[in-house]
A and B are shown apart, each in its own frame.
Chain A
Amino acid sequence: MTGGAATASAGASMLARDAHRLTPARRFRIYLLEARFQFVEVLREPMFAIPTLAFPLIFYLFFGVIMGARGVSLAVPTYVLATYGVFGVLGPALFGFGAGLANERDTGVLLLKQTTPMPAGAYLFAKVMAALIFGAVVVAALFLMAAHAAGVALYRWQWFALAGVLLAGVIPFCALGLAIGAWARGRSAVAVVNLVFLPMAMLSGLWLPIYMFPDVMQDIALALPAYHHAQLALKVIAMDAGQPVPMHLAVLAAETLAFLAVAALGFRRADSFSMRRIR
């Protein structure tokens, strides 16, 4: 085994040197293909695709279209459009990164990919792109449902701004997923993600408006990234709680950095484990 490991590490270092010599065109191609393969991979994984795509839509159908139709005003369908949009972006980011990464590490796929000349960035880029594309599909489907089934009408700039704000949410949420994926082991990762995903969605006011909660729960929400992201989305449609944008952005930025730091620690730990296993 010792000799094999030496060869492998010699090979890896050679490939790493090669990686430095990647031309921009080749680098671009690798990024693109990795994104494509990963996207196709998750697309073919019904355990991932169905809940992340269907849950926000089913929830919106129930709370936005059916329950919302009881009120005369469009306030409820409009409000929950923004919050289920956040929910829709949150899901793929957490599951793709959290559960997907943990799974690929467990099965050795990650290690395999690390031995190829592919830059590590391409792997992460592919995951973010997959989350982004899934998020975009959910957002588009939600918008269509809100517009045509619930009768929501927004100004043109609001439609675009809302979509933009919602999709930008993949950045903090992917960071959170990365942190979870870096620490949790394959099987347990799905459970951990669910433990974060569902309570955070509820406490951030993604299912029911936050102002319906007791004060204590509203205070908890202030610590959650999904709350701040939802407030930014609600700001576009002038239905937010009136807190300043820079505050939301600052919290999101700080938490993103914190998640990345936690993820880095997790990888360092995981690397030492896998090296030990190889020896």
Chain B
Amino acid sequence: MKDARYLVGRSLTWFVIGVAVFTGVLATLPVPEAAEGPARGVPEETFAVVDVTAFDGEAFRQGWDVWVEDGRIRHAGQRLDLPEDLPRVDGRGHTLIPGLIDGHVHSFLSTLGDALRFGVTTVLDQSTDPAFAAAMRPEREEVARGTQADLFSAGMTATAPEGHGTQYGMPVETLTGPDEAAQWVRARKAEDSDWIKIIYEDGSAFGMEIASLEGETVAAVIAAAHAEGLAAVVHVSTLETALEAMTFGADGLVHVWRDEVVSEVDARRFAEADIFVVPTLSVMVSADDPAVAELVRDTDDAMLSPIQRQTLDGRFPGGLGEGGDVAMENVRRLRAAGVRLIAGTDAPNPGTGAGISMHGELRLLARAGMGSAEALAAATSVAADAFGVAERGRIAEGHLADLVLVRGDLEEDVSRSHDIVGIWKDGYLVDRAVGSAGAGFQPEIAPAPAETLVADFEDGFEASFGAWDVTTDQLTGGSSTADVAVRDGALVVTGEIAPGAAFPWAGVIWMPGAQPMQPVDFSGREAIRFRTRGDGRQYSVMLIGSAEPAGPPPTVTFIAPEEWTQVEIRLEDFPTATPEVIAGLAFVAEGPVGSFSFEVDEVEVR
């Protein structure tokens, strides 16, 4: 019995030692460095970021505590008397900035979610589908967990028939003269437009001829907007139109111009008129600028959504030409004259991506001579003040707790802004993973219009509903090319299939919805019918449905023979469960490698 007791004692001792060693091992394992990454366990809603370098919207403040309560900033300052039990985030070595405000975006689909995942908590949209804006606006009033940036939007844009802004497939009521201005602005006010956006663009700066509003109509719309208590901003692309817009009383210009360097005298006139400028260097300096490539290289590829990747890789058809240096010099001179400048990206235009490009814009503004505080102010408080966006753009008492914690010292180097430790929106932590946030707006499936004829190309590139666009495998990393033109009342598609993509394609896509890639329900229709002729090669009709497919889309092939032939493809022949839901129909060449040429005419969904 003595042996047994002895063994019992020893066993217990060893057991206790074992448990102690195990616990000891667990207790000494490394933990993430302070605020390494808000994963789980990082506080939200009510908490404090302590001992952080804060940019409050105007200047950097060392050693600040920022106290968030119920999603708003309760107090911010040095060494606050914080309650003992308040959850804390150690901000040492990091910089806390207000959520970024992108001063020039166009919103659709998931762009609002993508923006938020990159620290852009508010976007100032310079025209989108009014229905989209109406659907998204209510969310900005809620202090609650969300997955999208808050949207403030001009809604529909003022432009001439066939003018810039009408080509995107969104509904646009155009203006033909100044007498329509008051009526038009009232309609925007009824749609809850937050301000008025006017296009004053004849394409001359880009070697194009585009129908434009007359100067007197622009002036009339600005006056009408002011009469309704709305601000008015103008899209310009030349110094001449910029000066005109200023004399018409515009509140802001939403691009810098690339045609001519502004004189110091004129720069001072802009300053005296107290007009603000959103230069949108992200598009005005060529998309091939190394800044963009650098930023993308600095970003974890897994952080980019398919749409961000697609638009970042995109290029304006034919390019924008020279002028990037002029745009940059104009920003320098406007800044020197004291003109209010606002950071804005014009995302998701070709070469930009929602959210991510804001960090590129900060780099470009810094290159134009702005210090860190100035560039960040342009991306926060200055933008908020210019567009009358309340409770945002500052770390100040009562403001929404839209906060971005950035690794390292932003004051020293603003190009670190993309290195985000954590984002809080309305005090709630933002999940930065693609898909978790950023699922964003799923457009509702729209009903099909009554008409069956999509396009007969008698009056050019127009579709009777929806819009046409070029599509190639460059979306997936390929290098095939396609050109489209309308000749003799038919759509002529030429191009070359080049190796490089897993599934090469090039051709043209028709998107039936009011927004790009919005699915339309064609229930009751039976077939797609069109006329075609070409080089005798085999072509494909791809059906892009409502959900993003994992592989290549369902496809039916046809031959484009030498003589005009009618092709009819029954919807049920597409290998998919829901062929009647169509977000896009692509008429494309696929392999083999080589050049191709075909024509399409009288496209119908019947």
Contact = CB atoms under 8 A, between A and B. Distances in A.
Given A154-B31, A154-B32, A155-B31, A36 B7 contact: yes
A153 B26 contact: no
Given A32-B11, A33-B4, A155-B32, A133 B18 contact: yes
B29 A154 contact: yes
A213 interface: no
Nearest to B14: A36
Contacts of B21: 140
Nearest to B33: A153
Given A143-B25, A143-B26, A153-B36, A33 B7 contact: yes
B8 interface: yes
Contacts of A276: none
Contacts of B29: 143-144, 147, 154, 159
A171 to B, nearest CB: 18
Interface residues of B, number: 21
A169 B11 CA distance: 24
A160 B11 contact: no
A241 B454 CA distance: 43
B26 A32 contact: no
B40 interface: yes
A211 interface: no
B488 interface: no
B25 A140 contact: yes
Contacts of A153: 30-33, 36
Contacts of A148: 30
Interface string A134-175: 001000100110011000111111111001000000000000
Nearest to A235: B40
Contact of A33 (B8, B22, B26, B31): B8
A72 B4 CA distance: 55
A155 B22 contact: no
Given A154-B31, A155-B39, A155-B41, A144 B25 contact: yes
B323 to A, nearest CB: 37
Nearest to A164: B26
Interface string A234-252: 0001100000000000000
A162 B417 CA distance: 33
Nearest to A29: B8
Interface in B1-55: 4, 7-8, 11-12, 18, 21-22, 25-27, 29-33, 36, 39-41
A35 interface: yes
Contacts of A155: 31-32, 39-41
B4 A156 contact: no
B300 interface: yes
B11 A35 contact: yes
29 contacts: A29-B4, A32-B11, A32-B12, A36-B7, A36-B11, A73-B300, A133-B18, A136-B18, A140-B21, A140-B22, A140-B26, A143-B25, A143-B26, A144-B29, A152-B30, A153-B31, A153-B32, A153-B36, A154-B29, A155-B31, A155-B39, A156-B27, A158-B40, A158-B41, A159-B26, A160-B26, A163-B26, A237-B39, A238-B39
Interface of A: 29, 32-33, 35-36, 72-73, 133, 136, 140, 143-144, 147-148, 152-160, 163, 237-238
Given A35-B11, A160-B26, 20 more contacts: A29-B4, A29-B8, A32-B11, A33-B4, A33-B7, A33-B11, A73-B300, A140-B21, A140-B26, A144-B25, A144-B29, A147-B30, A152-B30, A155-B32, A155-B40, A155-B41, A158-B40, A158-B41, A163-B22, A163-B26
